[in-house]
Amino acid sequence: MSANKAINILIPIISVLLGLIAGAIIMLVFGYSPVEGYKALWEGAFGDIYFIGETVRQITPYILSGLAVAFAFRTGLFNIGVEGQVIVGWLAAVWIGVAFDLPMIVHLPLAIAAAALAGAFWGFIPGLLKAKLRVHEVIVTIMLNYTALYIANHIIRNVITEQKDRTESVAKSASLQAEWLTEWTQYSTMHMGIILALVAAFLMWFLLEKTTRGFELRAVGFNQHASNYAGMNVDRNIILSMVISGAFAGIAGAMEGLGTFGYMSVRSGFTNIGFDGIAVALLGGNTALGVVLAAGLFGSLKVGALNMPLAGVPTELVDIVVALIIFFVASSYMIRWLLSRFKKEGK
Amino acid sequence: MDYVIEMLNIRKEFPGIVANDNITLQVKQGEIHALLGENGAGKSTLMNVLFGLYQPEKGEIRVRGEKVKITDPNVANHLGIGMVHQHFMLIDTFTVTENIVLGSEPKKLGLSIDLKKAEEDVRKISEQYGLKVDPAAKISDISVGMQQRVEILKTLYRGADILIFDEPTAVLTPQEIHELIDIMHNLVKEGKSIILITHKLKEIMEVADRCTVIRKGKGIKTVNVSETNPNELASLMVGREVSFKTEKGPAQPKETVLSIENLVVKDARKVDMVRGLNLEVKAGEIVGIAGVDGNGQTELIEAITGLRPVESGMISLKGKDITNLSPRKVTESGVGHIPQDRHKFGLVLDFPIGENMVLQTYYQEPFSRKGILNFKQIYDKAKALIDEFDVRTPSEYTKARALSGGNQQKAIIGREVDRSPDLLIAAQPTRGLDVGAIEFIHKKLIEERDKGRAVLLLSFELDEIMNVSDRIAVMYEGEIVATVKPEDTTEEELGLLMAGSKKQKVGES
């Protein structure tokens, strides 16, 4: 049991190390210094308070989108639609943020709730189709990603604004940014959303591990037949799982809309927050704590990478390193096999 | 040397247990050698050593007198050892031929598969050994018995002459078992040797020449089947005297608990499987449903338990209508259900065994309050049930998947019996279990009866039906065609009734 647990923790760590080593080799091959490159990466992520602020800001939506993917996955569903749910969440939050002028205690929660609801609705559609008609959620969610993107663009251009490419900034009363935080981190874009993300991670853990509802969701995820036999309503749990997953994703969108940017602009492509969430969930083993740690890694890499050109290393290389890490996590079977081989020989 | 296989003093350890402790198995050329042992005795481990899946810590293996080292299944294949697995390794969407040649396909010009030659080869082998199969049929379209023949053909196609059968009858109907026994005799006649892994004594008596008994990882004895009897084998296997005739007093039926009137149930293809069925089960009696698989038994049980919609008719429990209620409502009205397929329905295999113990009751107090689980209560309860029902598990936190079949089944029975239902439905409760576990389960069913509960037993094993039931309802094509008492009937008569001959005189109860 405990040996198994140790392996489960060891595998992502080894994956990350292998990814970093592979990245170093690639940098060497292309004539860059991996020491300088990784030093710049580290500096760029944690070099001073400003960079730390930026890193935390990047981690925030990753935690939420990772939770969204992980939550659905624990119930046996593959929510590829987190990307679309992030977009509708972002839109809903910004819309509420610009349309009203209310006291903060009402306005901010209202905007976040709107984002959660919008994401939840975007998750409800594939959940319903899966539960009632057995339509595979992967197909529906992929389609809904595009639907979300273009609907959001249309609404920004034609409904919220008059043919403009971005909305107004949200009212101060709906903003997640706090002056003291901005000043303390030397004018980084860090905002209060990180607290919300950590609370969400705790909620997911509590819901899945401690409540009867979580018991049902997990049971349905492992074995629908046995869950049905035991009197659980499988269809309702499938829908609920997608709704909760979508809500997490929607809040991830609110982090961008109310925190980082404070507005929403017409997009030509996806935000990638949702897609990166799949990798975060995978690396984090679909557990709440794992997702927080994996999001930490992804966020740090992403922000640190911006600093790498200073050492002459192109940012594309960082994307390659990240991709390699994901590759090694996905091929964890290989690492597992190597580990067990290693253990045998040691005996 | 006339031994074709010799496994001498084999020892295989796993962390924490010794699965094989100094076991010796010697198989003669051209014999059917049975390997008998309870679930978890180490039969499969020993065979996996022979097949190259595990490396033994100690001991040596000789094949046809020569010492060999079997490092992986390919080596075993080269040595002519073939394994017919209990869980078939077939690709559903491929044809019989494609499955058989998979991995060693005859090629045309070294590029494309020569399907014609392959089909011809398959046909030749199947005729040689009397294994009738249509080489062009898709696996998904043929019966389980046929699929097993494909598995046998796979090993023969690869030139095996030592065949290991891993619990081959566990999934077969009585007719298919007879056919398999004929096939095994044919194989031996053609010069093959067979190792038969099983815990069914009847089969050993019927087909095997010799039998090696292992118990708790140790080799106990090798006996000539002609010089032994089932009682001796059973006590060798279990380590104590085993009674085959289940001890029970006469039933004392009281009020009607389950009553079914004119029930009609369709299967997934919308075909009527239960056609106007009538049945009553009273408190304090065990009613056994006998019948050939596929005559609507599964649909009947699923309809009673709310897993399948009822087209028409009525099911009532103690006078209360429970037709078409949800599974939860049915459970709450007092029905316990030991499902036919314990892996698919009975357990969430990736949950700890402790959490499986509250699979239907987790939302009730004391296991949870206001939606928050109380793990202390859950695991206390699980521990009590595990002790009471002798479920052998390292702990209540162990995943259900890690338990042996017998212990999984004991856990399910413990859970279902403990809810004290008015009606206990047991669908093939002893399928795939060894004598010790079967004895235990039969005793528990009779105990429940004696506590005044109604028990509905579904089984395809006539022995079990005859032994345990107080009344036998024979099901044929979706109807109960006869109700008899076990003491007034014979297996032959039941067999005829199950085959649909209604003309037999039937003692009404």
As a whole number, mean pLDDT of residues B463-480 equals 92
Is B291 within 8 Å of chain A by CB? no
Among the partner-chain residues A214, A223, A228, the one whose CB lies closest to the CB of B349 is A223
Classify the C-alpha dihedral B416-B418-B423-B428 as positive or negative.
Answer: positive
Q: Confirm if B55 and B73 have CB atoms less than 8 A apart.
A: no
Among B307, B331, B359, pick the best mutation site for testing chain A contact (most A Cβ within 10 A). Answer: B359
Q: What is the pLDDT of residue B28?
A: 93
Amino acid at position B391, single letter: V
Question: Which of A218 and A318 is assigned the larger pLDDT?
Answer: A218
Q: What is the pLDDT of residue B461?
A: 82
Is B66 within 8 Å of chain A by CB? no
Q: Confirm if B32 and B181 have CB atoms less than 8 A apart.
A: no
Residues in chain A: 347
* Element holding B382 (H helix, E strand): helix B375-388
The span from the CA of A273 to the CA of A81, in Å, is: 11
Residues 6+ apart with CB under 8 A from A338: none
Give chain A's radius of gyration (CA, Å): 21
As given in the structure block, the two tokens for residue B420 are: 């004290």
Residues on chain B touching A212 (C-beta within 8 angstroms): 362-363, 368, 371-373
Question: Which of A316 and B508 is assigned the larger pLDDT?
Answer: A316
Smallest CA–CA distance from A2 into chain B, residue = B398
Q: Are strands B471-476 and B312-317 parallel, antiparallel or unpaired?
A: unpaired
Residues 6+ apart with CB under 8 A from B477: B275, B295, B296, B500
Instruction: Determine whether B347 is exposed, middle or buried from the number of CB atoms within 10 Å of its CB (0-12, 13-18, 19+).
Output: buried
As a whole number, mean pLDDT of residues B370-374 equals 93
pLDDT confidence bin for A245, thresholds 50/70/90? very high
**DSSP bridge pairs for B210:** B33, B224
**DSSP bridge pairs for B163:** B82, B194
The span from the CA of B321 to the CA of A265, in Å, is: 60
The span from the CA of A264 to the CA of B189, in Å, is: 80
How does pLDDT run across A255-305, given as a tens digit for each residue? 999 999 999 999 999 999 999 999 899 888 899 999 999 999 989 988 888
* Mean pLDDT taken over chain A: 89
| A312 is a domain residue | no
Q: What is the pLDDT of residue B279?
A: 95
| A316 is a domain residue | no
Residues 6+ apart with CB under 8 A from B130: B182, B183, B186
Q: Smallest CA–CA separation between B343 and chain A, in Å?
A: 8
* Element holding A346 (H helix, E strand): helix A332-346
Closest CA to B281 of B301, B311, B299, B307: B301
Residue A189's domain comprises 68-295
The span from the CA of B171 to the CA of B112, in Å, is: 36
Closest CA to A256 of A248, A264, A266: A264
Q: What's the gap between Cα B402 and its chain centre?
A: 18
Give how far Cα B122 sits from Cα of A338, B13, B125, B127, B177, Å. 40, 40, 5, 9, 22
Is B384 within 8 Å of chain A by CB? no
Q: What is the pLDDT of residue B508?
A: 43
| Statement: the pTM of the whole predicted model exceeds 0.95 | no
Among the partner-chain residues A212, A218, A226, the one whose CB lies closest to the CB of B346 is A226
Count the Cβ atoms, other than its own, within 10 Å of residue A234.
17
Among A75, A218, A229, pick the best mutation site for testing chain B contact (most B Cβ within 10 A). Answer: A229
Query: Given an 8 Å threshold on Cβ–Cβ distance, is B331 in contact with A211?
Result: no
Packing angle, helices A2-29 and A315-330, rounded to 10: 150
Closest CA to B22 of B59, B62, B71: B59
The span from the CA of A251 to the CA of A122, in Å, is: 12
Write the DSSP symbol of residue A265: B
Among the partner-chain residues A212, A219, A231, the one whose CB lies closest to the CB of B371 is A212
**DSSP bridge pairs for A211:** B372
Closest CA to A96 of A85, A86, A106, A107: A107
Instruction: Determine whether B350 is exposed, middle or buried from the number of CB atoms within 10 Å of its CB (0-12, 13-18, 19+).
Output: middle
Residues on chain A touching B305 (C-beta within 8 angstroms): 229
End-to-end, the C-alpha distance of chain A in Å comes to: 18
Closest CA to A245 of A196, A200, A187, A311: A200
Is B364 within 8 Å of chain A by CB? no
Q: What is the pLDDT of residue B26?
A: 93
Query: Given an 8 Å threshold on Cβ–Cβ distance, is B373 in contact with A215?
Result: yes
In the predicted model, is pLDDT for residue B53 greater than 50? yes
Q: Is B482 helix (H, G, I), strand (E, B) or coil?
A: strand
Among the partner-chain residues A226, A231, A233, the one whose CB lies closest to the CB of B331 is A231
| A45 is a domain residue | no
| A263 is a domain residue | yes
How does pLDDT run across B257-303, given as a tens digit for each residue? 999 999 999 988 888 999 999 999 999 999 999 988 788 999 999 99
Q: What is the pLDDT of residue A3?
A: 58
pLDDT confidence bin for A340, thresholds 50/70/90? low
In the predicted model, is pLDDT for residue B36 greater than 80? yes
Closest CA to A89 of A257, A240, A263, A259: A257
The span from the CA of B216 to the CA of B445, in Å, is: 27
Give how far Cα A136 sits from Cα of A139, A140, A141, B142, B440, Å. 6, 7, 9, 28, 44
Query: Given an 8 Å threshold on Cβ–Cβ distance, is B363 in contact with A229?
Result: no
Give chain B's radius of gyration (CA, Å): 24
| A4 is a domain residue | no
| A290 is a domain residue | yes
In the predicted model, is pLDDT for residue B503 greater than 70? no
Closest CA to B355 of B330, B381, B332, B337: B381
How does pLDDT run across B452-471, given as a tens digit for each residue? 999 999 998 888 899 899 99
Amino acid at position A31, single letter: G
Write the DSSP symbol of residue B277: E
Query: Given an 8 Å threshold on Cβ–Cβ distance, is A222 in contact with B350?
Result: yes
Lowest mean pLDDT among A77-86, A286-295, B31-40, B321-330: B31-40
Output the CA torsion A139→A140→A143→A146 (10° steps). -130
Among A1, A208, A212, pick the best mutation site for testing chain B contact (most B Cβ within 10 A). Answer: A212
Q: What is the pLDDT of residue A330?
A: 67
As given in the structure block, the two tokens for residue A29 are: 């091959």
As given in the structure block, the two tokens for residue B472 are: 């036998």
Question: Which of A315 and B375 is assigned the larger pLDDT?
Answer: B375
| A258 is a domain residue | yes
Q: Confirm if B354 and B396 have CB atoms less than 8 A apart.
A: yes
The span from the CA of B191 to the CA of B508, in Å, is: 51
Whole-number percent of chain B with pLDDT over 70: 97
Q: What is the ipTM, given to two decimal places?
A: 0.82
Q: Confirm if B201 and B436 have CB atoms less than 8 A apart.
A: no
Q: Confirm if A242 and A123 have CB atoms less than 8 A apart.
A: yes
Query: Given an 8 Å threshold on Cβ–Cβ distance, is A222 in contact with B345?
Result: no
Q: Confirm if B400 and B412 have CB atoms less than 8 A apart.
A: no
Q: What is the pLDDT of residue B280?
A: 94
The span from the CA of A300 to the CA of A336, in Å, is: 26
Count the Cβ atoms, other than its own, within 10 Å of residue A136.
12
Packing angle, helices A104-133 and A137-155, rounded to 10: 140
Q: Confirm if B237 and B38 have CB atoms less than 8 A apart.
A: yes
As a whole number, mean pLDDT of residues A218-231 equals 94
Q: Compute φ and ψ for A54, nearest 5 degrees.
A: -60, -40
**DSSP bridge pairs for B314:** B261
| A37 is a domain residue | no
Q: Is B266 helix (H, G, I), strand (E, B) or coil?
A: strand
Smallest CA–CA distance from B372 into chain A, residue = A211
Query: Given an 8 Å threshold on Cβ–Cβ distance, is B348 in contact with A219?
Result: yes
Closest CA to B142 of B80, B97, B107, B174: B97
Q: Confirm if B137 and B100 have CB atoms less than 8 A apart.
A: no
Structurally, chain A folds into a number of domains equal to 1
Q: Are strands B454-458 and B423-427 parallel, antiparallel or unpaired?
A: parallel
Q: Confirm if B99 and B136 have CB atoms less than 8 A apart.
A: no
Query: Given an 8 Å threshold on Cβ–Cβ distance, is B373 in contact with A210?
Result: yes
Among the partner-chain residues B351, B360, B397, the one whose CB lies closest to the CB of A231 is B360
